[in-house]
Amino acid sequence: MAKIVLVLYDDPVDGYPKSYARDDIPNITKYPDGQTAPTPSAIDFTPGELLGSVSGELGLRKYLESNGHTLVVTSDKDGANSKLDQELHDAEIVISQPFWPAYMTAERIAKAPKLKAIITAGIGSDHTDLQAAMDRGITVAEVTYCNSNSVAEHVVMQMLSLVRNYIPSYNWVTKGGWNIADCVARSYDIEGMHVGTVAAGRIGLRVLRLLKPFDVNLHYLDRHRLPESVEKELNLTHHTSLESLAKACDIVTLNCPLHPETEHMINDETLKFFKRGTYLVNTARGKLCDRDAIVRALESGKLAGYAGDVWFPQPAPQDHPWRTMPHHGMTPHISGTSLSAQARYAAGTREILEAYFSGKPIRDEYLVVQGGKLAGVGAHSYSAGNATGGSEEAAKFKKVN
């Protein structure tokens, strides 16, 4: 029987919820491109519950233990003596979420001689050294599309929050003020602006569709060009370089995977392409951006605002400069872990486990690495190599309860 190590974020400060704001959530069975939502044989949770924290256990304990497997659940993942490191020696499967990633570096993989699978409960497997996984023949899988629309909604929310100067205006209210001039001194309309996405996959395309009713001018950069019918439907302008996209746009959103080719694609040199006063939204991966270059661009006015919910490493150390830089709208990594999304990625994780244990093929759209090479969605979205370098900095994070 297998030992599964499940790494999840901590429970709420006030304890695991005893009730919820809503009684139910919509039942999503199919995504816009026709892909079906996760289809495990059963689930042992109520959709709409908090599943992504330690006590939620992704609803997996009953299923795994009833089949004779051992489940270890922890939030302690960073540092040489973490619970994760203590359990690696005989772990067969490691599962974590992008929001609280178990950084599976080559060093950690070497400590896990029995490791056969690394699963992302969500989208994005850049917290795994994919080359090391290929070299060891370890299967890497993620629950593709489970929270793509959730992230796209977050992108649009953060764009509007930056452009309309929402967060500072809200803060004036909480402080008892009525400072209209202070609020509107940095507030604009999004209507008529030029908005571009770097990558127009599931998330990027959804963002474009959500923005169309705002009467903005839409642009995209992607090596895989969208069908002509989609370009006409959304009146899209296609770009073949970041320079071309950045020079044309007032708002840029990053929606591409992180791998060695995209690491630090936004840096001091590429920021020179951007208009003064551009807004940048990044809900993809923090390491797409050079951390300090973003701070400098906000301080100089090159960027009018930066928002997103992805950092590097995660959790971000308390002295991470993105916490205190000007004109930001950062959140912890929450865009893809709404209660609605959790129901889908928990079900998808179970679907992957059911296939794994029964010896049946894992859905091609869930596979990142299999048989020593990139596979499925991985062959389309990733490149061989490693983007986990520097993740040890996460050990600097101090929990605040």
Rounded-to-integer distance, Cα 301 and Cα 381, Å:
33
Residue 258 assigned to a binding site: yes
- Residue 182 identity: D
Residue 136 assigned to a binding site: no
Contact 271, 247 (CB under 8 A): no
First to last CA, the chain: 37
Contact 285, 313 (CB under 8 A): no
Say what the pLDDT of residue 399 is.
Answer: 65
Residue 334 assigned to a binding site: yes
Say what the pLDDT of residue 380 is.
Answer: 87
Residue 260 assigned to a binding site: yes
- Return the sign of the alpha-carbon dihedral for residues 80, 86, 92, 93: negative
Residue 115 assigned to a binding site: no
Structure token digits, residue 150: 């959730």
Picking from 93, 83, 84, 21, the residue whose alpha carbon sits closest to that of residue 50 is 21
User: pLDDT tens for residues 295-317?
Assistant: 999 999 999 999 999 999 999 99
> What does 262-274 look like in DSSP terms, one character per residue?
TTT-BSTTGGGGS
Q: Which CATH architecture has domain 148-330?
A: 3-Layer(aba) Sandwich (3.40)
Say what the pLDDT of residue 306 is.
Answer: 98
Residue 222 assigned to a binding site: yes
Residue 19 assigned to a binding site: no
Say what the pLDDT of residue 401 is.
Answer: 44
Domain with CATH 3.40.50.720 in the chain: 3-146+337-396, 148-330
The segments of the chain whose pLDDT lies below 70 read 399-401
Residue 203 assigned to a binding site: yes
Enumerate the active-site residues: 147, 285, 314, 333
Residue 123 assigned to a binding site: yes
Query: Does domain 3-146+337-396 match CATH 3.20.20.140?
Result: no
